[in-house]
Chains A and B, each alone.
Chain A
Amino acid sequence: MPLRRTFITGIGVVSPHGDNLDEVFDRVFAGESSVRKVPIEANGSRCDMLLSPVDFEPGHLIPKMSGRFMARATKMAVVAAHHALEASGLLVSGAGPAEAGIYLGCGLGGSDELQAHYERFLADPPRRLRAASTPMIMASGPASHISMQYGITGPTMTYSIACVSSAVAIGEAFRAIRHGYLDTALAGGTEAQLNAGALAGWRELSVLASEHTTGAEASSRPFDAQRTGLVLGEGSIILVLESEDAARARGAEPLAEIVGYGVSSDAYNLTEPSSDGQTRAMRLALEDASVAGERIGYVNAHATGTLLGDRVEAEAIRNTFGSHADKLAVSSTKSVHGHLIGAASALETALTVRMLQTGRIAPTANLTDPDPECDLDCVPLVGREAPGLEYALTNSFAFGGSNATLVLRKVLAS
């Protein structure tokens, strides 16, 4: 069977910048940050943390009965799936395409519910754990609820691979369609772990940013010499992927094409990245796409704003592209939306789709003092017009040494 082309025909977002993708992209392109100080309470004390939260209200999109069994990450995913199906034109009387598959990334599952249930159980005196706690906490809960709510009966897959979760979910859905296993898939990620327990763990890792002197919103600073770490965010972003035949048969308007996917492991260190593994993911993705590196115009970097992570990625981009690295535009949109962990790649893929559609490259915000060790064109501060942009990469790299890269292509007028 010949390989089939795979198009993105709808995108749904529940993001720190809102749930309208056009508006989200405009704000990201303008370098408008969603990072702010959020009070977090634990053990009777309260502290402000730099976060990129979602102002989330599912409203009528989640029935009360089923909502009782959904963690925050699940609710966000169910709403993002609704938006994605609606945008693609595949939502009919509240149901999605029955034969579709669901490919979702999620890092920590129902982290908020885990904390709430265990707090109760470990309290003095202890209380019984809710019967619903286990199915609410499980990382596959979001995909399961999407399947139930929209009547989708194909494979329901969840990939929990830290920060590459949703890149792998999209990549695996792409492969399933490309090789003829599926015609349609919902693919993306969800993450909601901005609760005291999860945040305490992150803080001890010493990877979180401190507040920049110019304000909270300027604290996520990938590629900048004044960077101090990453800012955690939350949200859910889901894409509708369809085979070319399926999309054309119903006259769907493709937003962009996925043409390549590369995935690799460092086999090196739990938290420290390796440029070799990252380079391999990018090369495999280009090879998969049968596209020469010279044709890539933009890389949406994983760059989270940690010194080691940014520098290793810059080195990997150089290793992958050679002299073409000097002609590449590279930006980290995490500078404005923070790091959504299991949903990060999906958000960055969605933004890259908008960049290909509009020919406008979003900047790396807050990049006022470039790190000389990241010697790339990181599109500092101001977005850029790039009408000829045809191919773009999105990079995602994770704790545990997992790396995933997607290659996207603009849909050219036929």
Chain B
Amino acid sequence: MTPYMFLAQVLSEKYDVDPDTISPEATLTELGLDSLTIVELLFDVEDEFGIEIPEERATFQTLAEAAALVDELVQAKGG
């Protein structure tokens, strides 16, 4: 599963985000996530992909940007 697909799935299944509102351009704030919830979501991502997202890299706004960061970290890990 790609990072984007995973993010979209988790948001709708575990966070009750309406699937119709989920798109690559949507920001996490627009989808109704507060700061603590975003950190929780990143935790789910870290668990799924076996990576650690450095705090200084967590500057993304949109789902596409978040997915790109995860892609990059997975590649760097050798995955």
B25: interface (CB < 8 Å): no
User: With a CB–CB cut-off of 8 A, which chain A residues contact B43?
Assistant: 128, 130-131
Chain A contact residue count (CB 8 A cutoff): 10
Minimum distance in angstroms from B54 CB to a CB of chain A: 11
Instruction: Please choose the segment from A64-72, A86-94, A275-283, A321-329 that sits at the chain B interface, where 4 or more of its residues have CB less than 8 A away.
Output: A64-72
Contact assessment for B36 and A65 in the assembled complex, using a CB-CB cutoff below 8 Å = no
Measured in the bound complex, the distance between the Cα atoms of B33 and A63 in whole Å is: 13
Contact assessment for A64 and B39 in the assembled complex, using a CB-CB cutoff below 8 Å = no
Q: Is the interface of B mostly helix, strand, loop or mixed?
A: helix
- Which A residues, 110 to 140, have Cβ-Cβ distances below 8 Å to chain B? 128, 130-132, 135
Measured in the bound complex, the distance between the Cα atoms of B46 and A130 in whole Å is: 11
Known A131-B39, A132-B36; contact A68-B15, beta-carbon cutoff 8 A = yes
Measured in the bound complex, the distance between the Cα atoms of B40 and A131 in whole Å is: 7
Contact assessment for A65 and B16 in the assembled complex, using a CB-CB cutoff below 8 Å = yes
Measured in the bound complex, the distance between the Cα atoms of B41 and A132 in whole Å is: 11
Known A65-B37, A68-B37; contact A128-B15, beta-carbon cutoff 8 A = no
Considering residues A63, A69, A131, A132, which has the most beta carbons from chain B within 10 angstroms of its beta carbon?
Answer: A131
Nearest-neighbor residue (CB-CB) of B12 within chain A? A64
Measured in the bound complex, the distance between the Cα atoms of B10 and A64 in whole Å is: 11
Measured in the bound complex, the distance between the Cα atoms of B32 and A63 in whole Å is: 13
Contact assessment for B40 and A132 in the assembled complex, using a CB-CB cutoff below 8 Å = yes
B72: interface (CB < 8 Å): no
User: With a CB–CB cut-off of 8 A, which chain B residues contact A63?
Assistant: 16
Nearest-neighbor residue (CB-CB) of A130 within chain B? B43
List residues of chain A with CB under 8 Å of any chain B CB. 63-65, 68-69, 128, 130-132, 135
